[in-house]
Structure 1
Amino acid sequence: MLADEFGREVSGVRVSLTDRCNFDCVYCHNEGLGDTRGPMAPREHEMSTDDVVRFLQVVSEFGVDSVKFTGGEPLLREDVEEIVRRSPDEMEVSLTTNGTMLPGRAGDLVDAGLERVNISQDALDRETFKEVTQAGAYDAVMDGVDAALEAGLAPVKLNMVVFEQTAGYVPEMVEHVAENDGLRLQLIEYMPEIAGHPEWAIDIERVHDWLEEQADHVERREMHDRRRYWVTPDGTDLDWDAVVDDGTVDESEAGMVEIVDPVENPTFCANCHRVRVTHEGYLKGCLNRNDDLRPMGEMTRGEIRETFRETVANRVPFYGEYMVKEDGEWVVNDEYLDDSPAGDASSTVDETPAQTDD
């Protein structure tokens, strides 16, 4: 397994299959590239099925054991089932989606080898959901969650970006996953650098503090040093001492809530083990940067190997290294100001930090 100079081994990859989407979420970052979306029809610059599969086969040689397909909305591509089916057997395969196209496809995706799914669900309120997503597809998303559960994809992780418009629905969402078998909740910190609305941001530590009070059990996850909060429904009496000793949790008795909080968080960055691939076939060592994009040329196996090695070798923790504190403010480390290995590619996309999910 390859590691960068900060000792961070790369064990997973995120592959964007398209920048197209049938939603227009106000917080969207498109894997850190900004709003590059065009027509909804298939686009020639997207990696082909063979390109994606070849990339995965090569990085599996380096011990990469998980891949998450994302977008845009990846299920706008009709070949996702084929890509999943042809992914290396040793890789855990997951997908992030808005869920609207899971009915009718979830079963085929599972048959192809899909093991996990994240579904965007920002509020249990139709009007708020419509305002945030710019799409009147609340029922379609809920149907997608049901389809994923029926296809055997439990636990289904619901992604909720937490900012001014959605923060008031956090307690309801926590209760929702605690009371419904097979659901987990991932609260994703909003980043004002993306949408340009700093007034929308909230103090994510307040959410942590509230969950600490509500949770029956708290644990830490190695990736990004994330905290997990286990919450039982009212009236449930679970022996957490026994659970901790056993190391497993019956998710019919408790719901799991996790917070993704990358903003100004060096600990989060120090525990990152991923490399990302844009829909056009560029490698990214960090979600928050676009000055480190590396093209894989014609995507031959040799070119992929060389570019992957270079990308891993040049990975840098964003906060605490690429961005450093000076007089209480985060500024770009002078060491990296003139370092732009992607060349001309870095000037074609927005260079702002972005949301993340798992």
Structure 2
Amino acid sequence: MPLEDDHGRAVTGIRVSLTDRCNFDCVYCHNEGLGDTRGPMDPQDGEMTADEVVRVLEVVHEFGVEKVKFTGGEPMLRDDLTEIIQRVPDGMEVSMTTNGTFLPGRAAELAAAGLTRVNVSQDAIDPEAFAELTKSGAYDKVIEGVEAALEAGLAPVKLNMVVMEPTAGYVPRMVDHVAENDGLQLQLIEYMPEITGHPEWAIDIDRVHDWLTDRADRVEHREMHDRRRYYVGADGEAETPDIDAGDPDGPAAGEGMVEIVDPVENEEFCANCHRVRVTHDGKFKGCLNRHDDHRSMADMTREQIRATFRETVANRVPYYGEYMVKEDGQWVVNDDYIDRPVPTADDD
């Protein structure tokens, strides 16, 4: 059975950063909440080895963790990525977030190894805008990578787009792009100034929700995560949307799916978080936004990993609504939480 924290949230997923190296330098990068710490392109001593990554996955799988997403940095800079995917415990779903530039020529190999799905970062359907946002000239390679993933059977491919002032104007074209191309979905991710800076880039995400409600043929409300999925026809003609709490079969023919991830100041989002993270240098991290909850797995013995995982889960709280609380309309750190005794594995 999965471990639950004190707020009744079972941990069923884990995100593992395989490296902090990246061949892009995106203006919004937060490197899994650690800040833009892009390192040299050569492998670093601090990165977990393949054996260490697999050991962590085997242990958390004992506790009912069913899904792993490999992230970075750019995870495909790991020469041993195929080996790591092959060694993921049986029954654990494997996905990956990538910038897509290395998928051509490797997507089929990774799918054969056990990869089931990819998220590809793509913030604009425009080479010049893409280059400005990512500080790279790899637009064509990313498009080729998405096509390679689809050909390898990794559909649906989710395109990740961070929505902020520098990118908001590209949202309509991105929505049209996924509506016009079978096998693609769009995940619009709210910009998080609290971990990336530049608060002037933040937008009112409700603007995007409202626009999509008008644009969509139908709307699905996912109650578990309090998210909305917008199903958009390729012809650009929207019918009156229906809000429904069920789970439809997915996009119909000629229809694209768009989902908004809006965690900023969202208590409902945090109340439904079911994942733990692992940093590239082997530390459990209970929350993307927090930096006081990193727990080293020391020399990576299974016993230590089990104990550290239990402590990490025991110490998880919703970031908004518990770690951060509202006072006079402003979000502030909850001093009562900060000053409380820190849970340990012995408290289970």
- Kept in 2, the 8 Å contact 1:27–1:194? The answer is no
1:298 corresponds to which letter in structure 2? D
Gaps in structure 1 of 5+ consecutive residues: 343-358
Q: Which residue does 2:213 correspond to in 1?
A: 212
- Kept in 1, the 8 Å contact 2:216–2:230? The answer is yes
Q: Which residue does 1:23 correspond to in 2?
A: 24
Offset at residue 232 of structure 1 (A): 1.4
- Kept in 2, the 8 Å contact 1:21–1:72? The answer is yes
Q: Which has the higher contact order (CA 8 A, sep 6+)?
A: 1
2:307 corresponds to which letter in structure 1? E
Offset at residue 195 of structure 1 (A): 3.6
Distance 1:132 1:235, change over 3 A: closer
Distance 1:286 1:5 in 2: 15
TM-score by length of 1: 0.91
Deviations, residues 60-96 of structure 1 (Å, cap 9, x unaligned): 1111100000000000001111111100111110000
Distance 1:22 1:341, change over 3 A: farther
Q: Which residue does 2:122 correspond to in 1?
A: 121
Is residue 2:34 matched to residue 1:40?
Answer: no
Is residue 2:206 matched to residue 1:176?
Answer: no
Q: Which residue does 2:346 correspond to in 1?
A: none
Is residue 2:280 matched to residue 1:279?
Answer: yes
Distance 1:142 1:340, change over 3 A: farther
Offset at residue 223 of structure 1 (A): 5.3
Q: Which residue does 1:324 correspond to in 2?
A: 325
Distance 2:210 2:238 in 1: 23
Offset at residue 339 of structure 1 (A): 6.3
Q: Which residue does 1:142 correspond to in 2?
A: 143
Q: Which residue does 2:57 correspond to in 1?
A: 56
Distance 1:221 1:167 in 2: 24
Offset at residue 329 of structure 1 (A): 0.4
Q: What SS does the aligned partner of 2:131 have?
A: helix
Offset at residue 165 of structure 1 (A): 1.2
Offset at residue 108 of structure 1 (A): 0.4
- Kept in 2, the 8 Å contact 1:149–1:156? The answer is yes
Distance 1:135 1:246 in 2: 38
1:29 corresponds to which letter in structure 2? H
Is residue 2:5 matched to residue 1:4?
Answer: yes
Task: Answer with 227-236 or 150-159: which moved more.
Answer: 227-236
Offset at residue 191 of structure 1 (A): 1.6
Distance 2:21 2:10 in 1: 31
Q: Which residue does 1:257 correspond to in 2?
A: 258
TM-score by length of 2: 0.93
Q: Which residue does 2:104 correspond to in 1?
A: 103
Deviations, residues 139-175 of structure 1 (Å, cap 9, x unaligned): 0110110110111101000000011111011111111
Q: Which 4+ runs in 1 deviate beyond 4 A?
A: 235-238, 243-246, 338-342
What CA RMSD, in Å, does the superposition of the two structures yield over aligned residues?
2.2
Matched positions, count: 341
Distance 1:244 1:292, change over 3 A: closer
Offset at residue 40 of structure 1 (A): 0.7
Offset at residue 255 of structure 1 (A): 0.6
- Kept in 2, the 8 Å contact 1:94–1:115? The answer is yes
User: Superposed, which structure 2 residues align to 1:188-207 within 5 Å?
Assistant: 188-207=189-208
Q: What SS does the aligned partner of 2:15 have?
A: strand
Q: What SS does the aligned partner of 1:224 have?
A: coil
Deviations, residues 177-222 of structure 1 (Å, cap 9, x unaligned): 0110000000000122234222211110010011111111111235
1:247 corresponds to which letter in structure 2? P
Deviations, residues 274-320 of structure 1 (Å, cap 9, x unaligned): 00000001001101101000111111111111111111111010001
